[in-house]
Amino acid sequence: MKILIINAGSSSLKYQLIDMENEAVIAKGLCERIGIEGSKHTYKVPGKEDFVEEKPMPTHQEAVSLVLAALVSPEIGVLSDISEVSAVGHRVLHGGSTYTESILINEDVKRVIRECFDLGPLHNPANLMGIEACEAVMPGTPNVAVFDTSFGMGMEPKAYMYAIPYKYYEENKLRRYGFHGTSHAYVSGETIAYANLPEGNRRVIVCHLGNGSSISASDNGRCVETSMGLTPLEGLVMGTRSGDVDPTVVQYIVNHDHISVDEVLTMLNKKSGVLAVSGVSSDFRDLDAAAEAGNERARLALDMFVHHVVKTVGAYIAVLGGVDAISFTGGIGENSPAIRAQVIGQLGFMGVKLDAEANKTRGKRTLISTPDSTARVYILPTNEELFIARETKRLANV
Ligand code: AMP
Protein backbone atom coordinates (compact mmCIF):
# COMPACT_ATOMS: atom_id res chain seq x y z
CA MET A 1 0.00 0.00 0.00
CA LYS A 2 1.26 3.45 -0.97
CA ILE A 3 0.43 6.73 0.71
CA LEU A 4 1.07 10.21 -0.64
CA ILE A 5 2.00 12.87 1.93
CA ILE A 6 1.33 16.50 1.06
CA ASN A 7 2.68 19.56 2.86
CA ALA A 8 1.19 22.56 1.08
CA GLY A 9 2.50 26.06 1.71
CA SER A 10 1.17 29.28 0.21
CA SER A 11 3.42 29.04 -2.87
CA SER A 12 4.95 25.59 -2.44
CA LEU A 13 3.99 21.96 -2.16
CA LYS A 14 6.28 19.32 -0.68
CA TYR A 15 5.41 15.67 -1.10
CA GLN A 16 6.55 12.12 -0.37
CA LEU A 17 5.20 8.82 -1.66
CA ILE A 18 5.69 6.16 1.03
CA ASP A 19 5.40 2.41 0.63
CA MET A 20 3.73 1.28 3.85
CA GLU A 21 4.98 -2.31 3.49
CA ASN A 22 8.47 -1.19 4.51
CA GLU A 23 7.83 2.50 5.31
CA ALA A 24 10.33 3.46 2.60
CA VAL A 25 10.18 6.67 0.56
CA ILE A 26 9.59 5.71 -3.09
CA ALA A 27 9.61 9.25 -4.48
CA LYS A 28 9.54 12.78 -3.15
CA GLY A 29 9.71 16.30 -4.40
CA LEU A 30 8.86 19.94 -4.24
CA CYS A 31 6.78 22.35 -6.32
CA GLU A 32 7.96 25.93 -5.87
CA ARG A 33 6.65 29.35 -6.90
CA ILE A 34 3.04 28.18 -7.26
CA GLY A 35 0.98 31.14 -8.48
CA ILE A 36 4.18 33.06 -9.27
CA GLU A 37 6.09 33.27 -12.54
CA GLY A 38 8.89 30.69 -12.87
CA SER A 39 7.15 27.72 -11.19
CA LYS A 40 9.45 24.73 -10.76
CA HIS A 41 8.92 21.07 -9.87
CA THR A 42 11.79 18.96 -8.54
CA TYR A 43 11.15 15.20 -8.38
CA LYS A 44 13.49 12.72 -6.71
CA VAL A 45 13.56 8.93 -6.72
CA PRO A 46 16.18 7.47 -4.34
CA GLY A 47 19.21 6.27 -6.29
CA LYS A 48 18.19 8.11 -9.50
CA GLU A 49 19.04 11.47 -10.96
CA ASP A 50 16.72 14.35 -9.96
CA PHE A 51 14.11 15.37 -12.53
CA VAL A 52 13.38 19.09 -12.77
CA GLU A 53 10.63 20.70 -14.85
CA GLU A 54 9.65 24.32 -15.18
CA LYS A 55 5.95 24.50 -16.04
CA PRO A 56 3.24 27.02 -15.14
CA MET A 57 1.46 26.23 -11.85
CA PRO A 58 -1.15 28.97 -11.38
CA THR A 59 -2.73 27.02 -8.49
CA HIS A 60 -2.04 24.02 -6.23
CA GLN A 61 -4.25 21.94 -8.56
CA GLU A 62 -1.73 22.17 -11.43
CA ALA A 63 1.03 21.35 -8.93
CA VAL A 64 -0.74 18.16 -7.77
CA SER A 65 -1.43 17.23 -11.43
CA LEU A 66 2.28 17.59 -12.27
CA VAL A 67 3.24 15.46 -9.25
CA LEU A 68 0.83 12.69 -10.27
CA ALA A 69 2.02 12.86 -13.91
CA ALA A 70 5.61 12.35 -12.73
CA LEU A 71 4.64 9.46 -10.44
CA VAL A 72 3.02 7.52 -13.34
CA SER A 73 5.38 8.68 -16.11
CA PRO A 74 6.71 5.70 -18.16
CA GLU A 75 10.23 7.26 -18.07
CA ILE A 76 10.63 8.53 -14.51
CA GLY A 77 7.53 7.20 -12.72
CA VAL A 78 7.26 4.71 -9.87
CA LEU A 79 3.59 3.72 -10.28
CA SER A 80 1.74 2.12 -13.17
CA ASP A 81 -1.51 3.81 -12.24
CA ILE A 82 -2.50 6.56 -9.85
CA SER A 83 -5.09 4.24 -8.25
CA GLU A 84 -2.07 2.62 -6.53
CA VAL A 85 -2.11 5.63 -4.17
CA SER A 86 -4.44 4.33 -1.44
CA ALA A 87 -4.81 7.58 0.49
CA VAL A 88 -3.37 11.07 0.89
CA GLY A 89 -2.13 12.47 4.21
CA HIS A 90 -2.02 16.25 4.61
CA ARG A 91 0.00 18.23 7.08
CA VAL A 92 -2.37 20.87 8.48
CA LEU A 93 -1.12 23.51 10.88
CA HIS A 94 -4.15 24.29 12.99
CA GLY A 95 -7.14 22.20 14.06
CA GLY A 96 -8.20 24.76 16.69
CA SER A 97 -9.66 23.25 19.82
CA THR A 98 -11.97 21.03 17.76
CA TYR A 99 -9.53 18.34 16.74
CA THR A 100 -7.43 16.58 19.32
CA GLU A 101 -6.41 13.91 16.80
CA SER A 102 -5.84 13.36 13.09
CA ILE A 103 -9.04 12.88 11.10
CA LEU A 104 -10.44 11.61 7.79
CA ILE A 105 -11.36 14.72 5.79
CA ASN A 106 -14.97 15.54 4.94
CA GLU A 107 -16.83 18.83 4.44
CA ASP A 108 -17.05 19.40 8.23
CA VAL A 109 -13.29 19.02 8.64
CA LYS A 110 -12.67 21.49 5.82
CA ARG A 111 -15.06 23.93 7.51
CA VAL A 112 -13.07 23.72 10.76
CA ILE A 113 -9.77 24.18 8.89
CA ARG A 114 -11.36 27.27 7.31
CA GLU A 115 -12.60 28.52 10.70
CA CYS A 116 -9.01 28.31 11.95
CA PHE A 117 -7.67 30.67 9.23
CA ASP A 118 -7.34 33.45 11.81
CA LEU A 119 -5.32 31.15 14.12
CA GLY A 120 -3.02 29.98 11.30
CA PRO A 121 -3.27 32.74 8.70
CA LEU A 122 -0.15 31.75 6.75
CA HIS A 123 -0.58 27.98 6.75
CA ASN A 124 -4.23 26.93 7.04
CA PRO A 125 -5.42 28.53 3.77
CA ALA A 126 -2.52 26.88 1.93
CA ASN A 127 -3.15 23.52 3.63
CA LEU A 128 -6.79 23.67 2.52
CA MET A 129 -5.72 24.48 -1.06
CA GLY A 130 -3.59 21.33 -1.02
CA ILE A 131 -6.55 19.26 0.20
CA GLU A 132 -8.95 20.68 -2.38
CA ALA A 133 -6.41 20.18 -5.15
CA CYS A 134 -6.12 16.48 -4.26
CA GLU A 135 -9.89 16.11 -4.08
CA ALA A 136 -10.19 17.63 -7.56
CA VAL A 137 -7.37 15.67 -9.18
CA MET A 138 -7.83 12.32 -7.35
CA PRO A 139 -11.59 12.02 -6.76
CA GLY A 140 -12.52 9.11 -4.52
CA THR A 141 -9.10 8.83 -2.84
CA PRO A 142 -9.42 9.34 0.95
CA ASN A 143 -7.68 12.38 2.43
CA VAL A 144 -6.54 12.58 6.07
CA ALA A 145 -5.60 15.74 8.00
CA VAL A 146 -2.79 15.50 10.56
CA PHE A 147 -2.72 18.66 12.66
CA ASP A 148 0.43 20.22 14.08
CA THR A 149 -1.65 21.28 17.08
CA SER A 150 -3.09 17.83 17.97
CA PHE A 151 -0.28 16.77 20.29
CA GLY A 152 -0.56 19.94 22.38
CA MET A 153 -4.28 19.29 22.81
CA GLY A 154 -3.26 16.63 25.33
CA MET A 155 -2.35 19.37 27.83
CA GLU A 156 -4.59 19.99 30.81
CA PRO A 157 -6.30 23.40 31.23
CA LYS A 158 -3.80 24.41 33.95
CA ALA A 159 -1.07 24.14 31.31
CA TYR A 160 -2.82 25.51 28.25
CA MET A 161 -4.78 28.47 29.71
CA TYR A 162 -3.44 32.04 29.64
CA ALA A 163 -4.22 33.98 32.81
CA ILE A 164 -6.13 36.69 30.94
CA PRO A 165 -9.88 37.49 31.05
CA TYR A 166 -11.71 34.20 30.56
CA LYS A 167 -13.91 35.43 27.70
CA TYR A 168 -10.88 35.33 25.35
CA TYR A 169 -10.74 31.60 25.87
CA GLU A 170 -14.51 31.07 25.74
CA GLU A 171 -15.28 33.36 22.83
CA ASN A 172 -12.04 33.47 20.87
CA LYS A 173 -10.29 30.19 21.77
CA LEU A 174 -7.14 32.03 22.87
CA ARG A 175 -5.06 29.38 24.61
CA ARG A 176 -1.70 27.66 24.28
CA TYR A 177 -1.83 25.11 21.45
CA GLY A 178 1.82 24.14 20.95
CA PHE A 179 3.33 23.47 17.54
CA HIS A 180 5.79 20.99 15.99
CA GLY A 181 3.17 18.55 17.33
CA THR A 182 3.71 16.03 14.55
CA SER A 183 7.40 15.91 15.37
CA HIS A 184 6.86 15.72 19.15
CA ALA A 185 4.27 12.95 18.71
CA TYR A 186 6.58 10.96 16.43
CA VAL A 187 9.76 11.40 18.48
CA SER A 188 8.13 10.78 21.87
CA GLY A 189 6.39 7.66 20.54
CA GLU A 190 9.57 6.36 18.94
CA THR A 191 11.53 7.10 22.11
CA ILE A 192 9.15 4.95 24.18
CA ALA A 193 9.36 2.13 21.61
CA TYR A 194 13.13 2.35 20.98
CA ALA A 195 14.01 2.59 24.68
CA ASN A 196 11.38 -0.05 25.45
CA LEU A 197 10.13 2.06 28.36
CA PRO A 198 7.68 0.12 30.54
CA GLU A 199 4.29 1.58 31.45
CA GLY A 200 4.63 3.84 34.48
CA ASN A 201 8.09 4.92 33.32
CA ARG A 202 7.28 6.77 30.15
CA ARG A 203 8.11 10.35 31.11
CA VAL A 204 9.72 11.72 27.96
CA ILE A 205 11.14 15.14 27.11
CA VAL A 206 11.67 15.93 23.43
CA CYS A 207 13.95 18.82 22.47
CA HIS A 208 13.07 19.75 18.89
CA LEU A 209 15.87 22.22 18.19
CA GLY A 210 16.06 23.70 14.71
CA ASN A 211 15.46 27.04 13.12
CA GLY A 212 12.19 26.88 15.03
CA SER A 213 12.66 25.25 18.43
CA SER A 214 10.28 23.77 20.96
CA ILE A 215 10.38 21.31 23.84
CA SER A 216 7.63 18.96 24.97
CA ALA A 217 7.06 16.91 28.10
CA SER A 218 4.82 13.88 27.78
CA ASP A 219 3.76 11.03 30.01
CA ASN A 220 2.86 7.73 28.38
CA GLY A 221 2.56 9.53 25.02
CA ARG A 222 0.21 12.27 26.30
CA CYS A 223 1.49 15.84 26.14
CA VAL A 224 1.77 17.45 29.58
CA GLU A 225 3.59 20.64 28.52
CA THR A 226 5.00 22.11 25.35
CA SER A 227 6.85 25.36 24.95
CA MET A 228 5.08 27.05 22.01
CA GLY A 229 1.78 28.79 22.67
CA LEU A 230 -1.04 30.40 20.71
CA THR A 231 1.55 30.73 17.96
CA PRO A 232 5.08 29.36 17.48
CA LEU A 233 6.49 32.65 18.86
CA GLU A 234 6.22 31.58 22.51
CA GLY A 235 8.91 29.67 24.37
CA LEU A 236 12.58 29.23 23.51
CA VAL A 237 14.98 31.66 21.85
CA MET A 238 14.99 30.53 18.19
CA GLY A 239 16.76 31.27 14.91
CA THR A 240 14.79 34.43 14.13
CA ARG A 241 12.04 34.32 16.81
CA SER A 242 12.45 36.03 20.17
CA GLY A 243 10.62 33.38 22.18
CA ASP A 244 9.11 34.64 25.48
CA VAL A 245 9.23 38.39 26.04
CA ASP A 246 7.32 40.57 28.47
CA PRO A 247 4.40 41.97 26.35
CA THR A 248 5.36 45.41 27.60
CA VAL A 249 8.36 45.18 25.27
CA VAL A 250 5.87 45.34 22.39
CA GLN A 251 4.15 48.40 23.86
CA TYR A 252 7.50 50.11 24.39
CA ILE A 253 8.69 49.55 20.81
CA VAL A 254 5.32 50.64 19.35
CA ASN A 255 5.45 53.89 21.30
CA HIS A 256 9.16 54.51 20.88
CA ASP A 257 9.59 53.64 17.17
CA HIS A 258 6.07 54.66 16.09
CA ILE A 259 5.45 51.37 14.34
CA SER A 260 2.38 49.14 14.48
CA VAL A 261 1.85 46.10 16.71
CA ASP A 262 1.83 43.98 13.54
CA GLU A 263 5.24 45.35 12.56
CA VAL A 264 6.65 44.57 16.01
CA LEU A 265 5.25 41.04 15.80
CA THR A 266 6.90 40.57 12.40
CA MET A 267 10.14 41.77 14.00
CA LEU A 268 9.77 39.32 16.90
CA ASN A 269 9.09 36.48 14.45
CA LYS A 270 11.55 37.19 11.66
CA LYS A 271 14.28 39.53 12.88
CA SER A 272 14.89 38.48 16.47
CA GLY A 273 16.27 35.35 18.17
CA VAL A 274 19.93 34.37 17.80
CA LEU A 275 20.02 36.32 14.53
CA ALA A 276 19.34 39.59 16.35
CA VAL A 277 21.49 38.90 19.40
CA SER A 278 24.51 37.79 17.38
CA GLY A 279 24.08 40.20 14.48
CA VAL A 280 25.68 37.38 12.48
CA SER A 281 23.21 34.71 11.36
CA SER A 282 20.29 32.52 12.39
CA ASP A 283 22.26 29.46 11.31
CA PHE A 284 24.01 27.69 14.17
CA ARG A 285 26.95 26.66 11.99
CA ASP A 286 27.68 30.34 11.31
CA LEU A 287 27.25 31.15 15.00
CA ASP A 288 29.66 28.37 16.00
CA ALA A 289 32.26 29.66 13.55
CA ALA A 290 31.83 33.28 14.69
CA ALA A 291 31.99 32.38 18.40
CA GLU A 292 35.07 30.27 17.71
CA ALA A 293 36.67 33.32 16.05
CA GLY A 294 36.00 35.41 19.18
CA ASN A 295 32.71 37.13 18.29
CA GLU A 296 31.21 37.83 21.73
CA ARG A 297 27.66 38.43 20.56
CA ALA A 298 27.64 35.11 18.70
CA ARG A 299 28.84 33.45 21.92
CA LEU A 300 26.10 35.27 23.88
CA ALA A 301 23.43 34.14 21.39
CA LEU A 302 24.56 30.51 21.75
CA ASP A 303 24.69 30.83 25.56
CA MET A 304 21.19 32.30 25.65
CA PHE A 305 19.85 29.50 23.45
CA VAL A 306 21.31 26.82 25.73
CA HIS A 307 20.18 28.67 28.87
CA HIS A 308 16.55 28.71 27.74
CA VAL A 309 16.66 25.04 26.71
CA VAL A 310 18.10 24.08 30.12
CA LYS A 311 15.56 26.22 31.97
CA THR A 312 12.67 24.62 30.07
CA VAL A 313 13.97 21.05 30.41
CA GLY A 314 14.43 21.63 34.16
CA ALA A 315 10.90 22.95 34.55
CA TYR A 316 9.50 20.02 32.60
CA ILE A 317 11.35 17.49 34.73
CA ALA A 318 9.68 19.08 37.76
CA VAL A 319 6.26 19.04 36.10
CA LEU A 320 6.66 15.37 35.14
CA GLY A 321 8.05 14.49 38.60
CA GLY A 322 11.18 13.03 37.00
CA VAL A 323 12.24 11.95 33.55
CA ASP A 324 12.87 8.57 31.94
CA ALA A 325 14.19 9.68 28.54
CA ILE A 326 15.27 12.85 26.78
CA SER A 327 15.45 12.90 22.97
CA PHE A 328 17.11 15.48 20.75
CA THR A 329 15.76 16.12 17.26
CA GLY A 330 15.67 18.87 14.59
CA GLY A 331 18.64 20.27 12.65
CA ILE A 332 20.48 21.42 15.78
CA GLY A 333 19.32 18.63 18.12
CA GLU A 334 20.42 15.96 15.64
CA ASN A 335 23.65 17.59 14.51
CA SER A 336 25.19 19.61 17.32
CA PRO A 337 27.18 17.59 19.88
CA ALA A 338 28.19 20.86 21.58
CA ILE A 339 24.62 22.02 22.27
CA ARG A 340 23.59 18.54 23.51
CA ALA A 341 26.64 18.35 25.78
CA GLN A 342 25.93 21.77 27.30
CA VAL A 343 22.26 20.97 27.96
CA ILE A 344 22.86 17.52 29.43
CA GLY A 345 25.92 18.80 31.33
CA GLN A 346 23.55 20.96 33.40
CA LEU A 347 21.56 17.85 34.42
CA GLY A 348 24.58 16.15 35.98
CA PHE A 349 23.31 17.10 39.45
CA MET A 350 20.46 14.64 38.98
CA GLY A 351 22.59 11.85 37.60
CA VAL A 352 21.93 12.28 33.87
CA LYS A 353 25.23 11.52 32.13
CA LEU A 354 26.28 11.79 28.53
CA ASP A 355 28.58 9.28 26.81
CA ALA A 356 31.02 11.72 25.19
CA GLU A 357 31.99 9.28 22.44
CA ALA A 358 28.40 8.39 21.46
CA ASN A 359 27.50 12.09 21.55
CA LYS A 360 29.84 12.71 18.59
CA THR A 361 27.19 11.05 16.37
CA ARG A 362 25.20 13.26 14.03
CA GLY A 363 21.81 12.66 12.43
CA LYS A 364 21.45 9.01 13.44
CA ARG A 365 19.23 7.32 16.01
CA THR A 366 21.68 6.77 18.88
CA LEU A 367 21.69 6.25 22.64
CA ILE A 368 24.09 8.93 23.90
CA SER A 369 23.82 8.49 27.69
CA THR A 370 26.02 6.24 29.82
CA PRO A 371 24.63 2.95 31.20
CA ASP A 372 24.47 4.43 34.73
CA SER A 373 22.68 7.61 33.68
CA THR A 374 19.42 8.18 35.60
CA ALA A 375 17.62 9.01 32.34
CA ARG A 376 18.34 7.75 28.87
CA VAL A 377 19.33 10.37 26.32
CA TYR A 378 18.90 9.86 22.56
CA ILE A 379 19.50 11.48 19.23
CA LEU A 380 16.26 10.62 17.45
CA PRO A 381 15.85 12.17 13.98
CA THR A 382 12.30 13.32 13.43
CA ASN A 383 10.21 12.00 10.54
CA GLU A 384 7.00 13.96 10.32
CA GLU A 385 6.08 12.47 6.93
CA LEU A 386 6.25 8.95 8.32
CA PHE A 387 4.06 9.94 11.27
CA ILE A 388 1.51 11.44 8.84
CA ALA A 389 1.67 8.29 6.68
CA ARG A 390 1.00 6.03 9.68
CA GLU A 391 -1.91 8.19 10.80
CA THR A 392 -3.29 8.21 7.25
CA LYS A 393 -3.07 4.43 6.96
CA ARG A 394 -4.84 4.01 10.30
CA LEU A 395 -7.66 6.48 9.59
CA ALA A 396 -8.25 5.86 5.88
CA ASN A 397 -8.59 2.18 6.76
CA VAL A 398 -6.87 1.13 3.53
P1 AMP B 1 15.82 22.66 11.01
O2 AMP B 1 14.97 23.90 11.13
O3 AMP B 1 15.36 21.53 11.89
O4 AMP B 1 16.04 22.24 9.59
O5 AMP B 1 17.26 23.04 11.59
C6 AMP B 1 18.05 24.05 11.00
C7 AMP B 1 19.16 24.43 11.95
O8 AMP B 1 19.99 23.28 12.18
C9 AMP B 1 20.06 25.54 11.43
O10 AMP B 1 20.23 26.53 12.43
C11 AMP B 1 21.37 24.83 11.20
O12 AMP B 1 22.45 25.65 11.45
C13 AMP B 1 21.33 23.73 12.25
N14 AMP B 1 22.34 22.72 11.94
C15 AMP B 1 22.37 21.88 10.88
N16 AMP B 1 23.52 21.15 10.91
C17 AMP B 1 24.23 21.56 12.01
C18 AMP B 1 25.49 21.22 12.59
N19 AMP B 1 26.26 20.29 12.04
N20 AMP B 1 25.87 21.86 13.72
C21 AMP B 1 25.09 22.82 14.27
N22 AMP B 1 23.90 23.17 13.77
C23 AMP B 1 23.48 22.57 12.66
135 plus 219 within the same structural domain:
no
3-state helix, strand, coil in the chain (%, to 5): 40, 20, 40
pLDDT greater than 90 at residue 122: no
Please compute the mean of the pLDDT values over residues 368-392 and round it to a whole number.
Answer: 98
Percent of the chain with pLDDT over 70: 100
227 vs 330: CA distance, rounded Å: 15
Report the catalytic residues. Answer: 148
C-alpha dist (Å) from residue 252 to 245, 247, 275, 278, 340: 12, 9, 21, 22, 35
Q: Does 92 fall in a domain?
A: yes
Provide the pLDDT for residue 387: 98
Residue 385 has pLDDT above 90, yes or no: yes
- Per-residue pLDDT tens for 79-114? 999 999 999 999 999 999 999 999 999 999 999 999
In a domain, 390, yes or no: no
pLDDT tens digits along 212-270: 999 999 999 999 999 999 999 999 999 999 999 999 999 999 999 999 999 999 999 99
Domain end position, chosen among 107, 122, 147: 147
Burial class of residue 256 in the structure, from the number of CB atoms within 10 Å of its CB (0-12 exposed, 13-18 middle, 19+ buried) = exposed
47-56 pLDDT, tens digit per residue, is 999 999 999 9
Asked whether 222 lines ligand 1 (CB < 6 A), one says no
Do 347 and 240 share a structural domain?
Answer: yes
158 falls within a domain: no
Residues 229 and 343 in one domain: yes
Q: Which of 85, 118, 147 is the last residue of a domain?
A: 147
What is the reported pLDDT for 254? 98
Answer yes or no: is pLDDT of 397 > 90.
no
CB 280 within 8 A of CB 297: yes
In a 3-state reduction of DSSP, which class is residue 304? helix
Ligand 1 mutation pick, 209, 285, 340, max ligand atoms within 8 A of CB: 285
| Domain residue limits at 83 | 2-147
What does the alpha-carbon distance between residue 47 and residue 78 come to, in Å, rounded to a whole number? 13
Structure confidence at residue 60 (pLDDT): 96
Which atom of ligand 1 lies nearest, measured to the CA of 282?
Answer: 10
CB-hemisphere CA count at 13 Å for 61?
Answer: 8
Distance CA 107, CA 315 (A): 41
Whether residue 322 lies inside any domain: the answer is yes
Overall average pLDDT of the 21-32 stretch: 97
pLDDT > 90? residue 398: no
pLDDT of residue 233: 96
**Does ligand 1 come within 6 angstroms of the Cβ of 183?**
no
| Long-range contacts of the stretch 162-167 (C-beta < 8 A, 24+) | 162/229, 162/230
Residues 225 and 353 in one domain: yes
CB contact at 8 A, 298 and 291: yes
Residues 366 and 259 in one domain: yes
In-domain check, residue 396: no
The verdict on residue 175 lying in a domain is no
Burial class (CB in 10 A: 0-12, 13-18, 19+), 53: middle
Q: How far is CA 174 from CA 121, 178, 375, in A?
A: 15, 12, 35
- 104 and 217 fall within a common domain: no
Does residue 349 fall inside a structural domain?
yes
- CATH number, domain at 239? 3.30.420.40
- Asked if the structure places residue 132 within a domain, the reply is yes
pLDDT tens by residue, 311-354 = 999 999 999 999 999 999 999 999 999 999 999 999 999 999 99
Q: Is the CB of 285 under 6 A from ligand 1?
A: yes
Same domain, 25 and 134: yes
Are 234 and 326 in a shared domain?
yes
CB 113 within 8 A of CB 95: yes
Q: Do residues 214 and 290 share a domain?
A: yes
Report phi then psi at 254, rounded to 5.
-60, -50
Mean pLDDT of the chain: 97
| 3-class DSSP assignment, residue 298 | helix
Q: How far is the CA of 286 from the centre of ligand 1 (A)?
A: 10
Name the domain count of the chain.
Answer: 2
Q: Is the CB–ligand 1 distance for residue 275 below 6 Å?
A: no
Q: Classify 193 as helix, strand or coil.
A: helix
